[in-house]
Copies of this chain bind each other. A is one copy, B any other.
Amino acid sequence: MSHSITLQKLAELVGGTLSAGSPESVISGLNSLMEAGPGDVTFLGNARYLPALKTTRASAALVPEDLDAGEAREGLALIRLKNPTLAFSHVIRFFGPPAVEFAPGVHPTATVAEDVVFDPQKVSIGPHAVIESGVRLGDGCRIHAGVYLGRGVQLGAECVIHANAVIKEYCVLGRRVILHSGSVIGSDGFGYELVQGRHQKIDQVGIVQIDDDVEIGSCTTIDRARFGRTWIGEGSKIDNLVQIGHNCTLGKHCIIVSQTGISGSTRLGNYVTMGGQVGVAGHLEIGDRVMFLAKSGVTKSIHDAGAYTGYPARPLMEGRKMLSLPAKIPDLLERVRVLEKKLAALEGEAVRS
């Protein structure tokens, strides 16, 4: 992080407007609002951190276009733009460590079957990676160390498969798919039939199909279909430690946060969002733009767009109410006790009168 840049150039770099601060001031680093010091640029990415804009020791901040200048510490240079979080990526790239460069070629310790179809000038295969027979790799693919690609796996152009990830036989990935370390794509679905007291394994011979621009986190598992395919739609992003059961379908541009589990044969529409640790039962249909808050338990199909929460999952307002209602019970108990007492008194009077 040894670069430096003037405020004016920084504003140009991020595509913003310098609205306070001297254009010639020099910025030499970056940090969060709380941790930044003199010479650093920071950003306001979340309204909850607004108070920190008064106390930050940073020299400059990327802020939303409509920020009231009175919200910022006096002397803090402001660069205004539409999306400070996104724009800060330019800052990070400028000051950050150099990206590891793409080095095509096959490491001598990799085990690549003879019939694998790829251009060794345009693909990188790391140490101890194993590429089985029948695999096809698009140009620009990076297969990192220790990765296993099973028989007949197909990858579109520019996929990145991180160290020690596993893709089992016949699975198909589109272009620019990123798969992080330790994840397993295409293991057997969890299917048994109880026959004479023993769980008999049901063959799982389908595949997993992952479309363009999907990113999948670390130690996530997506099971192959019993037959046909488990299907992850274009542009969907899946976090770490997520479980996707066999024959599930995710639509396009879904967001699935860490430790969520989706049971077999459930189908999601487009732009479905799930917070962390959500659980979804099998064989359900979830409509476009449905959002489940963290820890929701989804037991029925839900077709209407909107936010849902709780177990069983209900529309947000209703679900929140369900969570808060038990707190009213102590008061109810007391009021009923008072009613009973008063009524008994009245009944006594009624008898006497």
Contact = CB atoms under 8 A, between A and B. Distances in A.
Interface of A: 30-32, 35, 46, 48, 83, 85-86, 89, 92-93, 96-97, 100, 107, 109, 111, 126-128, 130, 144-146, 148, 150-152, 162-164, 166, 168-170, 180-184, 187-188, 190, 192-193, 195, 197-203, 205, 213, 215, 217-221, 223, 226-228, 235, 237, 239-241, 243, 245, 247, 253, 255, 257-259, 261, 263, 276-277, 279, 281, 283, 294-295, 297, 311-312, 321-323, 325-330, 332-333, 335-336, 339-340, 342-343, 346-347, 349-350, 353
16 contacts: A85-B202, A86-B193, A86-B195, A86-B200, A89-B203, A97-B152, A111-B128, A192-B255, A240-B243, A241-B243, A258-B263, A263-B294, A279-B294, A279-B295, A329-B332, A339-B343
A283 B342 CA distance: 49
Q: Which of A166, A226, A237 has the most CB of B within 10 A?
A: A166
Nearest to A150: B163
A89 B206 CA distance: 12
Which 5 A-B pairs have CB atoms at the shortest separation, nearest pair first? A184-B218, A148-B163, A96-B205, A111-B127, A221-B240
Nearest to A229: B35
Given A130-B146, A148-B164, A163-B168, 14 more contacts: A85-B193, A96-B203, A109-B128, A127-B128, A145-B148, A184-B219, A190-B258, A199-B253, A217-B221, A221-B240, A279-B295, A325-B329, A339-B343, A343-B343
Contacts of A223: 218, 240
Within the oligomer, what is the number of copies of this chain? 3
A243 to B, nearest CB: 4
B235 A258 contact: no
A227 B30 CA distance: 8
A200 B258 CA distance: 18
A107 B219 CA distance: 27
Contact of A205 (B97, B279, B335): B97
A322 B328 contact: no
A276 B294 contact: no
B198 A213 contact: yes
Contacts of A339: 336, 339-340, 343
B163 A163 contact: no
